[in-house]
Structure 1
Amino acid sequence: MTAHLLPPGIEVFERGWLSANNILHFSDNDVSLVDSGYCAHKNLTVDLVCNALKKHQLPKLNKLVNTHLHSDHCGGNAALATAFNCEIYIPAAEEIAVKNWDSTLLSYDNLGQECPQFAHHAVLIPGEEILLGKYVWKILAAPGHDPHSIMLYEADHRILISADALWEEGFGVIFPELWGEAGFEEVAQTLDLIETIPVDLVIPGHGAPFTDVARSLSIARSRLDYLASDPGRNARHGAKVLLKYRLLEWRSRDIAQVNDWIANTPALISAAKLLNMDIDEFIQWLPKALVKSGAAKLEGETLVDLA
């Protein structure tokens, strides 16, 4: 357990893999939340914030900060804005896409996911600082998993909010590589940046906060070397993660519906091309690969999630 390592005014709501962790920052002058989870969990996210406001006798949620705009990190934005009338801060590079609500640029169409539309009020610019609760955090660029992702660093307590740039056992899927954009080198640069920062505690986008940063960086670099040495590995891994993520929400799905979703998800079509498979071959392969990995099972004509 690492809760005792958090300074006063920070609380982490550790979520399941369908929703990113939410980090509450609070003081007498500001109450902020980092990341809002997936839309399917929006009511739970609102309840978590409501309960925390009541527990800490806080008047309102002032702002919501998104480390990046994948649906598991911002799917609760619209619900939180409605419930609390809070301001929403997004990475600066996503401003035009959000303003125009371009769901292709925002990755939702590409990844076959959903995110209710929301409006933003301010942007997060790498190199600048932002007040969250009691503490001032530096905004750091963290491309790789997502080209526009940011991290947040608090120097006095040496805390890094790493989003999906670093987990205890790796990092998020390197999605840009699925559609032919650079990602491997960007992940390496972000890991190098983390190594230069004095960090005692990492709060990742998924999983529990952790303290052995050197170990996690070593695991991440080993993982990156493995994926970068054969881009097909990243394509296979990314495809399985995308299907698993969707299945977490579905819980179970008729295989014909699963196959239709695969055939109409652009990132998976790109993955098939990287693997030199035609789409019919890929559709046959992907559910079986997920079953073989132990993440799902087939019951007749139904694909069922396994936790």
Structure 2
Amino acid sequence: MSPQPSTPDLPSWLTWWQRPFPDANTLLLHGRHPALIDTGFVGHANETAAWARAHAGNIDLVVNTHWHSDHVGGNALLQAQGAAIAAGSPEADAITRRDPGCCAAEYLDQPVAPYTVDVPLDDRQVLRLGDAHWEVVRTPGHTPGHLALWQPEERLLVVGDALSDYDVGWVNLALDGPDAAGTALASLKQLADLDPRLILPSHGPIPTDPAAAFAAALRRAQRLVDDPAGAVWYGARRIFAFALMIRDGIPADEVEPYLHARAWLTDAARLLDVAPEALAAELVTTMLRSGAIVLRDGRLHAAVDHTSVAREALRVPYPRAWPAAEPR
């Protein structure tokens, strides 16, 4: 539960917690208004809240870069302990409406405990987090409501899943339309133009060379624009690996039936013009061949480093069954 070794270039009022999957990295901003940026996966909500309390006491505000399960999983618990939740539009509005598609939780089969958004965020809005002012930068692409946070005095840039030291965020061409990859590329260019001193990503380490990280990310994002089929495959691999992580693997003889029942796989098959059953079989075969997943003791597991999740932690309702949100 300890943060990673401190980076010399980070200001003292900021604590960085690099976390393995299925959690996003968590950022704590100290001061009179303690704030967290992202709260990890629901299966580790108690760990997130305990870590925040140990380092800062009560948290005033949680800011979500976007609503995927690995970023909002501690929201409900922290909100019950008194924190307000801030998120960008249109995701904040959908959460308030209790849209069944919230967090893409049911679509991706990734559980999210019910929460409400107290502070909807607009592009270029200024927030006081800890004792510093941060600017909201709307960066759609990975999700429609994805946002970054910019601290101009220190030139710190929280980028969410827009990029990491080794990757860019996958895009959902089925849910968000064929222009989603182009939108993500435009958001990356907008962030690169800020010329940050430090990039704080949601996954992986802090890049040692921000300019090089952006150059690599822009090349990767351009490939997703140029190769829509490749973008669909990329998303399918990421979603399937996450499913294996949070379930401690899936029995090998149950994997393809599990995939056949998933809306995201049906959509991917449609975009690729193949049968869902054929895509499921090919997805398993190619990921086994590449080493992205492994067969161990009769179960398929994600090969990437990740922490285990208690099975009972997955038993939270889909958003269609969430209680109505209280008026803001």
Same fold (TM over 0.5): yes
Distance in 1 separating the partners of 2:275 and 2:125: 46
Aligned-residue Cα RMSD (Å) equals 1.8
- Residue 253, structure 1, aligned to residue 253, structure 2: no
Distance in 2 separating the partners of 1:261 and 1:101: 26
Deviation at 1:108, TM superposition (A): 1.2
- Structure 2 equivalent of residue 76 of structure 1: 74
Paired amino acid for 2:200: I
- Residue 306, structure 1, aligned to residue 303, structure 2: yes
CA deviations over 1:196-254 (Å, ceiling 9, x no partner): 21310010011112241211111112212322222111111111110101111112211
Specify every segment of 5 or more residues in structure 1 that has no aligned partner in the other structure, as ranges: none
Paired amino acid for 1:42: A
- Residue 131, structure 1, aligned to residue 128, structure 2: yes
216, 225, 232: which one aligns with 2:213? 216
Q: 2:248·2:301 contact (CA, 8 Å) conserved in 1? A: yes
- Residue 43, structure 1, aligned to residue 41, structure 2: no
SS of the equivalent of 1:138 reads strand
Distance in 2 separating the partners of 1:37 and 1:269: 27
- Structure 1 equivalent of residue 290 of structure 2: 293
Q: 2:242·2:302 contact (CA, 8 Å) conserved in 1? A: no
Distance in 2 separating the partners of 1:299 and 1:165: 33
Deviation at 1:2, TM superposition (A): 6.0
SS of the equivalent of 1:3 reads coil
Q: Tell which has more relative contact order, 1 or 2 (C-alpha 8 A, sep 6+).
A: 2
Paired amino acid for 1:68: H
- Residue 23, structure 1, aligned to residue 27, structure 2: yes
CA deviations over 1:148-206 (Å, ceiling 9, x no partner): 10100000000000001121223111124566342121122112111221310010011
Distance in 1 separating the partners of 2:110 and 2:37: 21
SS of the equivalent of 1:106 reads helix
Structure 1 range deviating more: 2-11 or 145-154: 2-11
CA deviations over 1:251-306 (Å, ceiling 9, x no partner): 22113432233122212211111222101112211222221221212247521332
Distance in 2 separating the partners of 1:35 and 1:173: 18
SS of the equivalent of 2:8 reads helix
TM-score by length of 2: 0.86
Q: 1:178·1:271 contact (CA, 8 Å) conserved in 2? A: no
Structure 1 range deviating more: 293-302 or 200-209: 293-302
- Structure 1 equivalent of residue 222 of structure 2: 225
- Residue 96, structure 1, aligned to residue 93, structure 2: yes
Matches within 5 A, 1:274-285: 274-285=271-282
- Structure 2 equivalent of residue 52 of structure 1: 55
Q: 2:199·2:210 contact (CA, 8 Å) conserved in 1? A: yes
TM-score by length of 1: 0.92
Distance in 1 separating the partners of 2:144 and 2:176: 13
SS of the equivalent of 2:16 reads strand
Q: 1:153·1:161 contact (CA, 8 Å) conserved in 2? A: yes
Specify every segment of 5 or more residues in structure 2 that has no aligned partner in the other structure, as ranges: 305-328
CA deviations over 1:56-90 (Å, ceiling 9, x no partner): xx4x21111111111111011112222x2111111
Distance in 2 separating the partners of 1:95 and 1:191: 22
SS of the equivalent of 1:113 reads coil
Identity of aligned residues (%): 25
